[in-house]
Each structure stands twice: as C-alpha cells, then as structure tokens.
Structure 1
Amino acid sequence: MGRPVLDCGKREKKIDVRFTQEEFDVIVEMEKSSGMRKAALIRKKLLSEGEKILLDSKVVMNNLDAVGLELSRAGNSINQLARYANILNRDGLLSAVVVDRLLLELRKYNEIKMHLERLMRKLIRMLSS
C-alpha cells in the first residue's frame, strides 16, 4: 500500500516552531475537534485563513490617518453650515432649502461615520482572533 499520493508537490521544507503549554493545549483541542492532524491544521490555518490577518501596520495607520482627516474636514464643513444656518435664522432669512441641505449633509456624514465604525469593529475582531 504505502503513503497516499499528494495532491500537489512534495513537501520538502520544514519550519520548527515552539509553543507555550497553553498555546499547545489550544492546538491539541483544535486537533481533536476538527479531526485534522496538527500539521494539516496549522497549514490550513496559516495558508488559507492566515492571509486575512497579514496586514502592513504602516499602511493601515496611514489609511486610518487619512480617514480621520477626512472625517475632521467633513465635521468642519458641517459646523460651517450650521453656523451659517444660525446666522440666517437670527436674521429671519433661513429657508427650507438651507435646512434640507444641512440635514442631507448630516445624514451623509452619519452614514459614513457608522460605516467606518463597523469597519473598525471588523478590523479589531479580525486582529484579535
């Protein structure tokens, strides 16, 4: 009989990794629950699912800075619109068009902010798992 034929090339390279007892216990538990051998389990986790968590922290931080800057700019624009609306209201010149425009901008800003919050939660969950 002998060893089964591999789906793809022969595995010739080896990586030695050390784990703490707690980490090893987690791997053994995953091995038991999945029915996979440790090597196959680690290979699957690293090669299939590992790409999801590999991030360049500099790129992430630069993008977060850019997003923060855009949110700040949008907030400033909304403040300017609100200030203008207050001046118009004080002078009795506030029209429904200005109020509608301000509400539209506030809704857009809120949607973007909520979307960003969801993405941040997703990123944090991904990084912490």
Structure 2
Amino acid sequence: MKNRIKKRKSASHEQRSRRFELRLSEAERTQFLDLEKALGLSRADIVRIRVLQHSKKMLVNTAEIMKLLDGIGTEIGRSGNNINQLAKHANTLQQQGMLHSNLIRDLAPLLTEYIRLQRRLEQSIRQLIRLIRGQT
C-alpha cells in the first residue's frame, strides 16, 4: 500500500460547520435579496466575498454596469460621427478657399481636450474591467 500524504485543504474547500446570524430590517432584507438576484450570488457568498476575501474590493452589479457602458459607447460613437462631419465640412471649406485660420485655431484645443478625455475614459473603463474580473 502506498503512503498517502494528506494535503491540507484550502480555506475555500474546508467544510463549513459554523453559522453566522445577521439581523436585518425588512427593508435591508429586501435590499439584500435584490443584491443577491442582481449579482447572481448566494447571500453566504456575498458576505464571504465582501467581508472575508476581498474586503477592499467592491461588489458590482455587472448587468447595470454593462448598460451604462453601452450608453457610453453610444455617446462616443456620436462624438466620433460629429468630429467626422466637422472634418468633412472643413475639407470642403478648404477646397473652396473659405477655411479661416481662426476656425482651426479655435477647433484644435477642443479636439485636444476631446482626445484627453477619451483617453481618461478608456483608462477608467480598463480599471472597471479589472475590478469586475477581481470579483469573480
């Protein structure tokens, strides 16, 4: 017979034999049940994740965030479309010799600011994605 070395089980695989009771108002209970439904996690898992495993991480409603990100994507698309229309109009004016340097001078800082804000938005979205991935 081979000698079997028992490996210690990790904390996530240990048998859970202890109970923890939490008292809530009816409004808090409803809110907790809504959170459970929105996140697709059990109440016990929500408490474990939030309190024990990742106390500094935030539980997020990914469905709600995806709706918000979809709206942001739509607005970015509209902004890009507006910029393309402005560029097309500027080209038309340039070909007709009617493009004034004042227009370019006024438009350049606006486009620079738009690019800066778009980059900040991209960084924020990447951070958000990392937070969501850390939740699972």
The TM-score with structure 1 as length reference comes to 0.60
CA distance in 2, matches of 1:76, 1:102: 16
How far the C-alpha of 1:123 sits from its partner, in A, is: 1.3
The TM-score with structure 2 as length reference comes to 0.57
The answer (yes or no) to whether the contact 1:88–1:94 under 8 Å persists in 2 is: yes
Structure with higher RCO (Cα < 8 A, 6+ apart): 2
Percent sequence identity over matched residues? 32
1:24 equivalent to 2:10? Answer yes
Amino acid at match of 2:72: V
Structure 1 match to 2:115 = 110
Amino acid at match of 2:10: F
Structure 2 match to 1:5 = none
Give the 5 Å matches for 1:80-95: 80-95=85-100
Residue deviations 1:26-48, cap 9 Å, x none? 99xxxxxxxxxxxxxx84435x3
1:49 equivalent to 2:56? Answer yes
Question: What is the number of residues matched between the two proteins?
Answer: 94
SS of alignment partner, residue 64 of structure 1 = helix
Runs of 4+, deviation exceeding 2 Å? 42-46
The answer (yes or no) to whether the contact 2:93–2:99 under 8 Å persists in 1 is: yes
SS of alignment partner, residue 98 of structure 1 = helix
SS of alignment partner, residue 94 of structure 1 = coil
Q: Specify every segment of 5 or more residues in structure 2 that has no aligned partner in the other structure, as ranges.
A: 1-6, 14-49
Structure 2 match to 1:69 = 74
CA distance in 1, matches of 2:68, 2:62: 10
The answer (yes or no) to whether the contact 1:85–1:94 under 8 Å persists in 2 is: yes
1:124 equivalent to 2:110? Answer no
How far the C-alpha of 1:104 sits from its partner, in A, is: 2.7
Q: Specify every segment of 5 or more residues in structure 1 that has no aligned partner in the other structure, as ranges.
A: 1-20, 28-41
CA distance in 1, matches of 2:107, 2:83: 7
Alignment RMSD, CA only? 3.1
SS of alignment partner, residue 59 of structure 1 = helix
Indicate how the Cα distance of structure 1 residues 43 and 58 shifts in structure 2: closer, same or farther if over 3 A, else same.
closer
The answer (yes or no) to whether the contact 1:82–1:102 under 8 Å persists in 2 is: no
